[in-house]
A and B are shown apart, each in its own frame.
Chain A
Amino acid sequence: MNDTGPVLPRGYDEMPIPFGWFAVALSTELAAGEVKTLEYFATEFVIWRGEQGEVHAVDPFCPHLGAHLGVNSDVVGDDLRCPFHHWRFNGEGGVTDIPYTEVIPPKLKRSCLPAWPVCEVDGVIFVWYHPRRAAPKWEVARLPECPEGEWILAETHDWVIDIHCQEITENGQDYAHFGAVHGVPFAPAGEMKIDGWVRRSTVVAEMETPRGLMTGKIDVTATGPGQSMTEFIDVTHVVQSQQVTPIDAHRTHLRWQMYHIPGLSDGRLRVTAARMRDLVKQVNQDIPIWNRKRFHDKPLLVKGDGPILAYRQQYAKYYDFDDDAEPGNIAARH
């Protein structure tokens, strides 16, 4: 990577941070009783896991005298205790204890510390980010149904990339780069459908298997701007659960958890491992381009480029910060 930053502006200063559910940690990264300060969305917040296991997130500064709640604080039961005067807060940001005063003012008990909606699903901790703190508009998506038994988590990966998060998820709609960057010999034939806050694409593609190229199906379901699941169904059956989380408008944290069905033979396990390796290889081919590209508001597009503008039109809904913003429906066929 480059030691010096880019010389020319890349267009991200003008791009807002979208609202939505975003992954902020893996479940394994936050033990019961643990507190962490996280920096995403060009801001910071504090998360903790109560002793019963529930995760909570709040703004960083104590409403009392302003201590940072991520520094030397403690988890007491389900609550977070500020280090400075030991006020205790629940997950709604309400005060549950002040050790030196007799009466806790009722309005402080209700809430006096802004709390963030939190959801923990399939081993990932999500928070709902909205610059005006509007309530969540959809639910975090879960893994698809496993055809038999339980999905097996084979690998996790993460990368911090110098790019706006909108650009990473645009990649799947950018059909022409598959050949140039990834050496996929032809553009995948696909279909993209937009249904409310969910974007689905089904791609029928030739995939490499030990028996040569084989036609497989790739289903992508993106729920909001922060989450997508890609299901590969051919000789093996793999789910790549992906989250993109804006650190700010210029930097994105990309996470993958890769699952496969249980009960695979050794041969199929080898194909599965190769598929996962190939996906990691592909993202490593994208990253150098992502780290230095520019966002073109009006790109020069030609036939064969894929439904990039339809994707952007849906994505613009994530910048509509009115409380009652609703998505429209678009379908694009390639």
Chain B
Amino acid sequence: MSEITLNVTDTDGAGHTLTAQPGDVLMHVLRDNISLDIGVCGGEISCGTCMVRLDPDWSQSLAGPGDDEAEMLEALDAPGGARLGCQVIVGDNLQRGAVALLHED
């Protein structure tokens, strides 16, 4: 199984290099490595604390947001291209990815 390297920028602008396994939920990787304030709702699309922007290659390889996610992103006033990390599964075709955390309190 090939590990995936993620370069994450947190909301303070600090960089983190993390590894993930194919099939991981991105929100879980961010929560377990960066902050336990990420993913408060457990992936129910009701907190927005997992909001991210992905690098364009990664983003384009994914199916777009579902209805509930799109609606929540709109309610959060999310910038274009933002995703909820709880709805993103790390794919096995991915070698590395860049993630910017967008949620601020």
Contact = CB atoms under 8 A, between A and B. Distances in A.
Interface of A: 103-108
- In order of increasing CB-CB distance, the 3 nearest A-B pairs are A105-B46, A106-B71, A103-B75
Contacts of A103: 48, 72, 75-76
A104 B47 CA distance: 8
Interface residues on B, range: 10 to 19
Contacts, number: 21
Interface in B13-46: 45-46
Interface of B: 45-48, 68, 71-72, 74-76
A107 B71 contact: yes
A107 B45 contact: yes
B35 to A, nearest CB: 17
A95 to B, nearest CB: 10
Nearest to A105: B46
8 contacts: A103-B72, A104-B75, A105-B45, A105-B48, A106-B71, A106-B74, A107-B71, A107-B72
Nearest to A108: B46
Contacts of A106: 71-72, 74-75
Nearest to B45: A105
B82 to A, nearest CB: 13
B74 to A, nearest CB: 8
Contacts of B68: 107
Contacts of B72: 103, 105-107
A107 B48 CA distance: 13
Contacts of A108: 46
A104 B45 CA distance: 11
